[in-house]
Amino acid sequence: MQKRKLGNSGLAVSTLGLGCMGMSFGYGPAADKQEMIALIRAAVEKGITFFDTAEVYGPFTNETLLGEALAPFRDEVVIATKFGFKDTGDGSGRWNGLDSRPEHIRAVAEASLKRLKVEAIDLFYQHRVDPNVPIEEVAGTVSDLIQEGKVKYFGLSEADAQTIRKAHAVQTVAALQSEYSLWWRAPETEIIPTLEELGIGFVPFSPLGRGFLTGKIDTNTHFDPTDFRNTLPRFSQEARQANQALIDLLGTIARNKDASPAQIALAWLSAQKPWIVPIPGTTKLHRLEENIDSVNIILTAEDLKEIEEAASKITIQGDRYPEHLQKMVGKS
């Protein structure tokens, strides 16, 4: 698999990464650990070098999973993890708000280093912007960790353009991770132009719309009670029915390309900018292989124009998050 550089940072990763959250958290019960170790190692063998995790996934178990799975390949891969949430401290696995105080960032870094079994964290994201801690202070703390050799690159997640600029002025931001796909295109307005101007890479999470853009979810789909999609307005039955028009569009283009809707969605993302690296997640080998094959699909300027014209006529229904979580994400 070819590699891409995340902006001007010099950090080179595979054209497609692997989001690992769903292996431990979020989309129902955690998957079998040994099966996930095998899946992660299969990803490495198939050319993926970029893996995404966070302390909150599990919590903690996802980092431990990656630490074990990637130990034999440490010099071949880039592992991204995140800080910024506050543990309740009662052993429940629940999180209580945000915490990007310098002492907390340092504590998270030390714990993540141990769980990941690494000497330095390749890419350390602030998971969500903490309104109680100036972003300059956050960037300065990560800068110190970089100087100490404990972190290699600094990233932000779901930050707005102003926050990105302020952080970048203190410590080079290598990458922004935020949601971006054919059904969430808000970053195109202000975020992507800002990243291009500053030379920052973009790592879209949920590039397949949390599974919706695969075409395998419809109004009859029932999620596990612990699947957080049950709480998302965009996954209400009404929204799913309304948003089926986008799946129909992807299906039409996919048939013409002898591809799947998921592959077209990923190929479209990769075609937007040469410094965009999507990180679709999966727990299934055949889906991993399907996603990897998307890098071989070339969308011509004519293809992209056709997608743009058709997509512009479709209004996506439903908010990304329920109201209480919406305030924790960037404005765009």
Active site annotation includes 153: no
Question: Do the beta carbons of residue 305 and residue 219 sit within 8 Å?
Answer: no
DSSP 8-state class, residue 167:
H
Q: Alpha helices of 122-236 — where are they, by DSSP H?
A: 135-147, 161-170, 191-198
Which tokens sit at 53? 């995790």
Which tokens sit at 231? 């709480």
Q: For residue 267, what is the enclosing H or E element?
A: helix 261-272
Is the peptide bond preceding residue 280 cis, with omega within 30 degrees of 0?
Answer: no
C-alpha 235/C-alpha 225 separation (Å) is: 14
| Environment class of 238 (CB within 10 Å of its CB; exposed 0-12, middle 13-18, buried 19+) | exposed
Choice among 27, 57, 125, 180 that is catalytic: 57
- Catalytic residue numbers read 57
